[in-house]
Protein backbone atom coordinates (compact mmCIF):
# COMPACT_ATOMS: atom_id res chain seq x y z
CA UNK A 1 0.00 0.00 0.00
CA UNK A 2 2.27 2.80 -1.25
CA UNK A 3 0.00 5.69 -0.27
CA UNK A 4 -0.69 4.03 3.07
CA UNK A 5 3.03 3.72 3.87
CA UNK A 6 3.55 7.40 3.09
CA UNK A 7 0.90 8.46 5.61
CA UNK A 8 2.14 5.84 8.06
CA UNK A 9 5.72 7.04 7.81
CA UNK A 10 4.67 10.65 8.44
CA UNK A 11 2.45 9.56 11.34
CA UNK A 12 5.26 7.55 12.95
CA UNK A 13 7.76 10.37 12.67
CA UNK A 14 5.22 12.78 14.16
CA UNK A 15 4.37 10.25 16.88
CA UNK A 16 8.04 9.83 17.84
CA UNK A 17 8.41 13.57 18.32
CA UNK A 18 5.09 13.94 20.16
CA UNK A 19 5.90 11.17 22.62
CA UNK A 20 9.27 12.75 23.34
CA UNK A 21 7.81 16.25 23.49
CA UNK A 22 8.84 17.08 27.05
CA UNK A 23 12.43 15.96 26.43
CA UNK A 24 12.57 17.72 23.05
CA UNK A 25 11.69 21.02 24.72
CA UNK A 26 15.15 20.85 26.29
CA UNK A 27 16.91 20.16 23.00
CA UNK A 28 18.22 23.08 20.95
CA UNK A 29 18.02 21.24 17.63
CA UNK A 30 15.30 19.03 16.16
CA UNK A 31 17.99 17.05 14.31
CA UNK A 32 20.72 16.62 16.90
CA UNK A 33 19.23 14.46 19.62
CA UNK A 34 18.83 10.75 20.38
CA UNK A 35 15.11 10.75 19.51
CA UNK A 36 15.66 11.96 15.96
CA UNK A 37 18.50 9.47 15.47
CA UNK A 38 16.24 6.65 16.70
CA UNK A 39 13.50 7.83 14.31
CA UNK A 40 15.80 7.90 11.28
CA UNK A 41 17.36 4.52 12.08
CA UNK A 42 13.95 2.95 12.58
CA UNK A 43 12.55 4.35 9.34
CA UNK A 44 15.60 3.50 7.24
CA UNK A 45 16.55 0.12 8.73
CA UNK A 46 13.14 -1.34 9.60
CA UNK A 47 10.17 0.42 8.05
CA UNK A 48 11.48 1.29 4.58
CA UNK A 49 12.93 -2.21 3.93
CA UNK A 50 9.64 -3.82 4.97
CA UNK A 51 7.76 -1.64 2.49
CA UNK A 52 10.15 -2.45 -0.35
CA UNK A 53 9.87 -6.15 0.48
CA UNK A 54 6.09 -6.01 0.17
CA UNK A 55 6.30 -3.94 -3.01
CA UNK A 56 8.63 -6.43 -4.67
CA UNK A 57 7.08 -9.61 -3.28
CA UNK A 58 3.41 -8.63 -3.59
CA UNK A 59 3.36 -5.77 -6.07
CA UNK A 60 -0.34 -6.09 -6.84
CA UNK A 61 -1.46 -5.99 -3.22
CA UNK A 62 1.02 -3.27 -2.24
CA UNK A 63 -0.26 -1.01 -5.04
CA UNK A 64 -3.95 -1.77 -4.31
CA UNK A 65 -3.99 -3.94 -7.46
CA UNK A 66 -3.22 -1.11 -9.84
CA UNK A 67 0.31 -2.12 -10.91
CA UNK A 68 2.48 -5.18 -11.43
CA UNK A 69 6.27 -5.62 -11.57
CA UNK A 70 6.39 -3.90 -14.93
CA UNK A 71 6.40 -0.55 -13.13
CA UNK A 72 9.51 1.57 -13.73
CA UNK A 73 12.46 0.91 -11.34
CA UNK A 74 12.36 4.53 -10.21
CA UNK A 75 9.12 3.89 -8.32
CA UNK A 76 10.57 1.47 -5.72
CA UNK A 77 13.39 3.98 -5.19
CA UNK A 78 10.96 6.84 -4.63
CA UNK A 79 8.86 4.59 -2.40
CA UNK A 80 11.80 3.79 -0.14
CA UNK A 81 12.79 7.45 -0.11
CA UNK A 82 9.34 8.67 0.94
CA UNK A 83 9.16 6.03 3.67
CA UNK A 84 12.07 7.80 5.32
CA UNK A 85 11.66 11.42 4.22
CA UNK A 86 8.00 11.69 5.22
CA UNK A 87 8.79 10.34 8.67
CA UNK A 88 11.59 12.88 9.05
CA UNK A 89 9.20 15.62 7.92
CA UNK A 90 6.63 14.52 10.50
CA UNK A 91 9.23 14.49 13.27
CA UNK A 92 10.56 17.97 12.44
CA UNK A 93 7.08 19.48 12.06
CA UNK A 94 5.89 18.17 15.43
CA UNK A 95 9.16 19.17 17.08
CA UNK A 96 8.62 22.74 15.86
CA UNK A 97 5.06 22.71 17.18
CA UNK A 98 6.29 21.51 20.58
CA UNK A 99 8.90 24.26 20.76
CA UNK A 100 6.22 26.81 19.89
CA UNK A 101 4.03 25.64 22.76
CA UNK A 102 1.43 23.98 20.51
CA UNK A 103 1.56 20.56 22.08
CA UNK A 104 -2.15 19.82 21.60
CA UNK A 105 -1.73 20.42 17.87
CA UNK A 106 1.41 18.27 17.88
CA UNK A 107 -0.48 15.28 19.26
CA UNK A 108 -3.38 15.89 16.89
CA UNK A 109 -1.01 15.83 13.90
CA UNK A 110 0.09 12.23 14.36
CA UNK A 111 -3.38 10.86 15.16
CA UNK A 112 -4.90 12.70 12.19
CA UNK A 113 -2.19 11.25 9.95
CA UNK A 114 -3.03 7.77 11.21
CA UNK A 115 -6.69 8.44 10.42
CA UNK A 116 -5.79 9.25 6.81
CA UNK A 117 -3.91 5.96 6.63
CA UNK A 118 -6.75 3.97 8.17
CA UNK A 119 -9.28 5.66 5.89
CA UNK A 120 -7.45 4.41 2.80
CA UNK A 121 -7.37 0.87 4.16
CA UNK A 122 -10.98 0.71 5.30
CA UNK A 123 -12.69 2.64 2.53
CA UNK A 124 -10.84 0.39 0.10
CA UNK A 125 -11.35 -2.72 2.21
CA UNK A 126 -12.21 -4.89 -0.80
CA UNK A 127 -8.70 -4.28 -2.17
CA UNK A 128 -6.95 -4.36 1.20
CA UNK A 129 -8.52 -7.71 2.14
CA UNK A 130 -8.32 -9.31 -1.29
CA UNK A 131 -6.68 -12.74 -1.03
CA UNK A 132 -5.97 -13.27 -4.72
CA UNK A 133 -3.35 -12.10 -7.19
CA UNK A 134 -3.34 -9.08 -9.47
CA UNK A 135 -4.32 -11.26 -12.41
CA UNK A 136 -7.27 -12.68 -10.46
CA UNK A 137 -8.35 -9.19 -9.42
CA UNK A 138 -8.31 -7.97 -13.00
CA UNK A 139 -10.19 -11.08 -14.09
CA UNK A 140 -12.90 -10.29 -11.55
CA UNK A 141 -12.43 -13.41 -9.45
CA UNK A 142 -14.13 -13.12 -6.06
CA UNK A 143 -12.80 -14.28 -2.70
CA UNK A 144 -14.49 -14.08 0.71
CA UNK A 145 -12.89 -11.32 2.77
CA UNK A 146 -12.02 -13.85 5.46
CA UNK A 147 -9.75 -15.68 2.99
CA UNK A 148 -7.26 -12.84 3.36
CA UNK A 149 -6.42 -14.04 6.87
CA UNK A 150 -5.22 -17.33 5.42
CA UNK A 151 -3.21 -16.01 2.49
CA UNK A 152 0.56 -15.52 2.21
CA UNK A 153 0.37 -11.73 2.41
CA UNK A 154 -1.30 -11.85 5.80
CA UNK A 155 1.27 -14.25 7.24
CA UNK A 156 4.02 -12.03 5.88
CA UNK A 157 2.45 -9.03 7.62
CA UNK A 158 2.36 -10.94 10.89
CA UNK A 159 6.08 -11.70 10.67
CA UNK A 160 6.86 -8.09 9.78
CA UNK A 161 4.83 -6.88 12.76
CA UNK A 162 7.37 -8.58 15.03
CA UNK A 163 10.02 -6.17 13.77
CA UNK A 164 7.93 -3.08 13.01
CA UNK A 165 5.65 -2.69 16.03
CA UNK A 166 7.78 -3.29 19.18
CA UNK A 167 10.26 -0.42 18.50
CA UNK A 168 7.33 1.88 17.77
CA UNK A 169 5.38 0.87 20.87
CA UNK A 170 8.54 1.14 22.98
CA UNK A 171 8.98 4.79 22.03
CA UNK A 172 5.30 5.56 22.63
CA UNK A 173 5.23 4.06 26.11
CA UNK A 174 8.75 4.79 27.43
CA UNK A 175 9.86 8.11 25.94
CA UNK A 176 7.28 10.17 27.85
CA UNK A 177 8.97 8.98 31.06
CA UNK A 178 12.35 10.44 30.10
CA UNK A 179 11.06 13.55 31.83
CA UNK A 180 8.95 13.21 34.98
CA UNK A 181 5.32 12.50 34.06
CA UNK A 182 2.41 12.37 36.49
CA UNK A 183 -1.09 11.00 36.05
CA UNK A 184 -2.56 14.34 34.96
CA UNK A 185 0.15 14.90 32.37
CA UNK A 186 -0.27 11.37 30.99
CA UNK A 187 -4.03 11.68 30.53
CA UNK A 188 -3.72 15.18 29.09
CA UNK A 189 -1.43 13.77 26.40
CA UNK A 190 -3.84 10.91 25.68
CA UNK A 191 -6.78 13.33 25.55
CA UNK A 192 -4.97 15.59 23.08
CA UNK A 193 -4.15 12.65 20.82
CA UNK A 194 -7.68 11.21 21.06
CA UNK A 195 -9.24 14.58 20.26
CA UNK A 196 -7.30 14.79 17.01
CA UNK A 197 -8.29 11.22 16.21
CA UNK A 198 -11.97 11.97 16.82
CA UNK A 199 -12.01 15.19 14.80
CA UNK A 200 -10.24 13.54 11.89
CA UNK A 201 -12.72 10.65 11.98
CA UNK A 202 -15.65 13.06 11.91
CA UNK A 203 -14.06 14.90 8.98
CA UNK A 204 -13.80 11.67 6.99
CA UNK A 205 -17.43 10.76 7.73
CA UNK A 206 -18.70 14.21 6.75
CA UNK A 207 -16.55 14.24 3.62
CA UNK A 208 -17.82 10.81 2.62
CA UNK A 209 -21.46 11.77 3.11
CA UNK A 210 -21.05 14.99 1.14
CA UNK A 211 -19.34 13.28 -1.79
CA UNK A 212 -21.82 10.42 -1.69
CA UNK A 213 -24.74 12.83 -1.67
CA UNK A 214 -23.23 14.72 -4.61
CA UNK A 215 -22.75 11.38 -6.41
CA UNK A 216 -19.01 11.90 -6.67
CA UNK A 217 -18.25 8.39 -5.42
CA UNK A 218 -17.61 5.37 -7.66
CA UNK A 219 -20.84 3.61 -8.63
CA UNK A 220 -19.81 0.48 -6.77
CA UNK A 221 -19.35 2.32 -3.47
CA UNK A 222 -22.09 2.26 -0.84
CA UNK A 223 -22.52 2.89 2.86
CA UNK A 224 -20.72 -0.36 3.57
CA UNK A 225 -17.50 1.60 2.99
CA UNK A 226 -18.42 4.07 5.68
CA UNK A 227 -19.32 1.26 8.06
CA UNK A 228 -15.96 -0.39 7.35
CA UNK A 229 -14.23 2.90 8.15
CA UNK A 230 -16.02 3.27 11.48
CA UNK A 231 -15.30 -0.32 12.50
CA UNK A 232 -11.68 0.08 11.43
CA UNK A 233 -11.30 3.29 13.43
CA UNK A 234 -12.37 1.47 16.58
CA UNK A 235 -10.13 -1.55 16.00
CA UNK A 236 -7.09 0.41 14.85
CA UNK A 237 -7.71 3.01 17.55
CA UNK A 238 -7.47 0.40 20.29
CA UNK A 239 -4.13 -0.81 18.94
CA UNK A 240 -2.91 2.76 18.45
CA UNK A 241 -3.69 4.06 21.92
CA UNK A 242 -2.89 0.92 23.89
CA UNK A 243 0.85 1.76 24.30
CA UNK A 244 -0.08 5.18 25.69
CA UNK A 245 -2.19 3.57 28.40
CA UNK A 246 0.87 1.65 29.60
CA UNK A 247 3.05 4.73 30.07
CA UNK A 248 4.48 4.27 33.58
CA UNK A 249 4.18 7.27 35.88
CA UNK A 250 7.45 8.84 36.95
CA UNK A 251 8.12 11.66 39.37
CA UNK A 252 11.12 13.79 40.08
CA UNK A 253 13.07 12.53 43.05
CA UNK A 254 13.18 15.03 45.90
CA UNK A 255 16.48 15.13 47.74
CA UNK A 256 16.23 15.11 51.48
CA UNK A 257 18.18 17.85 53.25
CA UNK A 258 19.80 16.63 56.41
How far is Cα 170 from Cα 117, in angstroms, rounded to an integer? 21
How far out from the chain centre does Cα 78 lie? 19
How far is Cα 167 from Cα 162, in angstroms, rounded to an integer? 9
Cβ-Cβ contacts under 8 Å for 160 (sequence gap 6 or more) = 50, 53, 54
- The answer to whether the beta carbons of residues 187 and 195 sit under 8 Å apart is no
Q: Is residue 258 part of a domain?
A: no
Q: State the pLDDT at residue 120.
A: 93
Q: Is residue 250 part of a domain?
A: no
How far is Cα 181 from Cα 42, in angstroms, rounded to an integer? 25
- The answer to whether the beta carbons of residues 204 and 117 sit under 8 Å apart is no
Q: What is the DSSP string of 26-50?
A: T-S-SSSSHHHHHHHHHIIIIIHHH
How far is Cα 161 from Cα 2, in angstroms, rounded to an integer? 17
CB half-sphere exposure, 228, CA atoms < 13 A = 19
Q: What is the domain extent for residue 29? A: 2-245
* Strand ranges in the chain using DSSP code E only, listed in sequence order: none
Q: Is residue 254 part of a domain?
A: no
Q: Is residue 253 part of a domain?
A: no
Q: State the pLDDT at residue 158.
A: 96
Q: State the pLDDT at residue 257.
A: 39
Q: Is residue 256 part of a domain?
A: no
**Which regions of the chain are under pLDDT 70?**
1-2, 251-258
Q: Is residue 255 part of a domain?
A: no
Closest of 203, 198, 208, 199 to residue 228, by C-alpha = 208
Q: Is residue 118 part of a domain?
A: yes
- The answer to whether the beta carbons of residues 193 and 18 sit under 8 Å apart is yes
Q: State the pLDDT at residue 71.
A: 84
Q: State the pLDDT at residue 252.
A: 53
- As for how many domains the chain has, the answer is 1
Q: Is residue 46 part of a domain?
A: yes
Amino acid sequence: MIEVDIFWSFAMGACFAACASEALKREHSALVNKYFIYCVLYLSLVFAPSGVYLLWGYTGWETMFFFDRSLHPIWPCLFACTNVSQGVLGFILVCKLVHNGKEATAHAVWTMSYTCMFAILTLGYDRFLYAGTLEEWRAGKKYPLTDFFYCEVFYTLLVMAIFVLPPLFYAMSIWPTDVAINKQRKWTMIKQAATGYLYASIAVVVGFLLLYGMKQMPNTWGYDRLLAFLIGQVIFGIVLFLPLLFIPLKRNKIRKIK
